[in-house]
Chains A and B, each alone.
Chain A
Amino acid sequence: MDALQLVNTHVKLLAFDFLSTLKPIPHEPTSFSRKGKRLSRAETVGIIVSRDYKPNRFLKFDIDDGTGCIPCVLWLNQDTSRHFSRRCPSTVRLISQMAADFASQVQLGVIARVRGRITSFRGNLQITLSDVVIERDPNSQILHWLDCLRLARNCYDKVVVPPKP
C-alpha cells in the first residue's frame, strides 16, 4: 500500500504551519515529519521583510506570508565551495550566476515565490533556496493562501486508511 508520497515535492505550507508542525526526523537530516508524512521540500509566497547579503557567500532573508516569517538562505559560494569542486566548472558557473541573479531580485518589500529544501540551522527551520520568482500579480499572495488551505485539507492532512484485507 503506497502512502501518499510528499518527499521531493515542494509542499505549499502557510508559514505558521511550516514553523510549528514540522519536526526533524532522527538520523535523517534532510527529511522532516508533518502529521506522519515525510517532507523534504517546500514552497512559500510572501513579502521579503529582511535581507542580509554577504557577497559570494550567502543571502539570508525572511519571507512574511501573513501567518509567520520563514527564514530563507540562498547560497552564493558555489565558486569556492568544496561541495561543487568536483563538478564541471561551466555548470558551476551557471549555477553561481543563477544564484547571483536571484539575489539581486530579492529586495525588501517585494513579493517572492520561493522553493527549496527544508533545512534546520541551530534548531531553527528554514528553506535553502533552489528557485526564486518575483511575483508582480497583487493577487498571488491570496492565491497562495488558498492553495495552502486546499492542499492541507485535501492532501497533506489526509490520513491514509489501508484497505481492509
Chain B
Amino acid sequence: MATIASGALVTLEELAPSLPHFKHGISLRVTGKLQDYDVETAIAVIVDRNASLKVDTQHLNLNLRIGSIFQFIGELLLEPDQEAILKARVGRNVDGMDLNLYRQSLQLLRDFQAGR
C-alpha cells in the first residue's frame, strides 16, 4: 500500500516562481493568517509576512474565520499564468501557535535532515 505523500514544510515566502518548492503537484504543509475567504468558490487567501497563497478549501469541513491562523496540507497547483493555488486535503486552526518558534524550527529541521 503506497503511503500518502508527506506535506513538505514551507513558508509562504518560499512559494515564489524561481524557488525549489514552486512545483506543480508538490505536496506541501503551509501556515498563514486567513485574510480572505470566498464562500461560493471556497477559495481562501492566507498570508504570512509579505507573502500570500490561495487555498482551495472545498473538500474541508472547517470553520474558516478571518483573522485566525490556519495550517493546510495539500498539493500545489500551478495555473497557466503561474499563479499558485494549494488544493487542501486537510486543514486546522492553529491560533496560539508561536510563529517565530515555528519558523526557527523549520530551519533546525532542515539542518538536521541535511546532516548538519
- Alpha-carbon gap, A16 to B69, bound state (A): 26
| A132 in the interface (beta carbon within 8 A) | no
Contact with B along A1-20 (1 / 0, CB 8 A): 00000000000001110000
Decide: B6 and A66 in contact? CB cutoff 8 A.
yes
| B73 in the interface (beta carbon within 8 A) | yes
- Alpha-carbon gap, A158 to B65, bound state (A): 46
| A108 in the interface (beta carbon within 8 A) | yes
Q: Tell me the number of A-to-B contacts counted with CB atoms below 8 Å.
A: 79
Contact with B along A28-63 (1 / 0, CB 8 A): 000000000000000000011110000000000010
Q: Count the B residues whose beta carbon is within 8 Å of the partner chain — how many?
A: 30
Known A15-B6, A49-B73, A139-B101; contact A67-B109, beta-carbon cutoff 8 A: yes
Decide: A66 and B29 in contact? CB cutoff 8 A.
yes
Known A145-B105, A149-B109; contact A62-B92, beta-carbon cutoff 8 A: no
Q: Interface size bucket, A side? A: 20 to 34
Known A108-B90, A145-B105; contact A49-B97, beta-carbon cutoff 8 A: no
Decide: B6 and A64 in contact? CB cutoff 8 A.
yes
- Alpha-carbon gap, A62 to B98, bound state (A): 25
- Alpha-carbon gap, A16 to B1, bound state (A): 18
Known A108-B90, A109-B92, A145-B105; contact A47-B73, beta-carbon cutoff 8 A: yes
B89 vs chain A, min Cβ distance (A): 7
Contacting residues, chain B, for A122 (C-beta < 8 A): 1
Decide: A142 and B6 in contact? CB cutoff 8 A.
no
Q: CB-nearest residue of chain B relative to A144?
A: B105
Decide: A66 and B97 in contact? CB cutoff 8 A.
no
Decide: B97 and A69 in contact? CB cutoff 8 A.
no
Which residues of B line the A interface, CB within 8 A? 1, 3-9, 29, 60, 62, 69, 73, 89-98, 101-102, 105, 108-109, 112-113
